[in-house]
Amino acid sequence: MNTERLSKRLDQVAQYIVKYGQKPIRLADIGSDHAYLPCNLLKNHQIEYAVAGEVVAGPYHSALKQVRANQLDEQVTVRLADGFEAVEASDAINFAAVCGMGGGLIVSILEAGYQANKLPDRIVLQPNTAVAKVRAWLHEHNYHILNEKFIEERGQFYEVLMAQLKSEKANYTSQEIMFGPVHIVKRGPVFEDYWQNELHHHYFILSQLEDGLDPAEMAEDRKTKIECIQAEIDKIEEVIPYDRPFL
C-alpha cells in the first residue's frame, strides 16, 4: 500500500469521503499512520485540506515523512496528539476518518471528540473489532448510518461505516445494531460469508463443550457458557440461517 494504491479498506473509506463529503472537504484523519489516505485524496484533487493525527511518535514521523515526500506540506498538517486533540478550530474540519483500530478505542476517541465539541457532522469509521459497539455509540449520539460495506482482505473481514449527524435518533433495532441497518437490507456475499463463519465457529465451540457429557453432569459454568453460545447462535440465525455442513 502507498499513496498511489490504497488497501481495499482505505479505498472504500476514500470512496465514502468523496461521495458523502460536503465540498470543499477538510478532513481529520485520526490515527493516520503513514498518512496514505489524506495524501491519496489530495493528489487526486478530492479534498482541500487534511489534518493527520497520531498519538504515537513512530507513526507520527512516518506520516510527516510521507507528506514531505509527496510535497503536500501546505495541504496536510501532521500533529502528534491524542484523538481529536489533533484538530484545531482554525482547521475548519467538516469530515473525519477513524480507521484501523479496535471498536472500543474508536468509541473512546469519538466520545472524547464529542465532549470537546470537535466531531464533524460526517464521519467514516473502520473498526477492526466490536463493530456493534461502534454502531451503538453512533445511534446514541444521533449519527445515522448512511452506508456500510463489508470488506474481505487477506483472509480477514472488515467493515466500513459512513455516518452523518442528524437532529434525531435513527431508532435502530437491536438487530440493526448487531448486523448493520444497511447490511440487513443489502446483504451481499462478504456479509453472508462473515456471519456463516461466525456461526460455524459458534457451533464448533458448542460441540466441544457438549461432547460426551451428560447435561446432568455438567458443571454450572459450562452450562452457562453453552447457554450463552446458543443464545448468540439464535440471534444470528434469526437473520442468517446456518447453511454449511458442520465438520
Alpha-carbon span 119 to 111, nearest angstrom: 9
**pTM for this entry:** 0.92
Arch. (CATH architecture) of 8-170: 3-Layer(aba) Sandwich (3.40)
* Contact between residue 68 and residue 136 where contact means Cβ atoms under 8 Å apart: no
Structural domain boundaries in the chain: 8-170, 191-237
Say if residue 189 is preceded by a cis peptide, omega within 30 of 0: no
Predicted confidence pLDDT, tens digits, the chain (247 residues): 566 789 999 999 999 999 999 999 999 999 998 999 999 999 999 999 999 999 999 999 999 999 999 999 999 999 999 999 999 999 999 999 999 999 999 999 999 999 999 999 999 999 999 999 999 999 999 999 999 999 999 999 999 999 999 999 999 999 999 999 999 999 999 999 999 999 999 999 988 887 756 565 567 788 888 899 999 999 999 999 988 765 5
* Contact between residue 31 and residue 58 where contact means Cβ atoms under 8 Å apart: no
Alpha-carbon span 143 to 40, nearest angstrom: 27
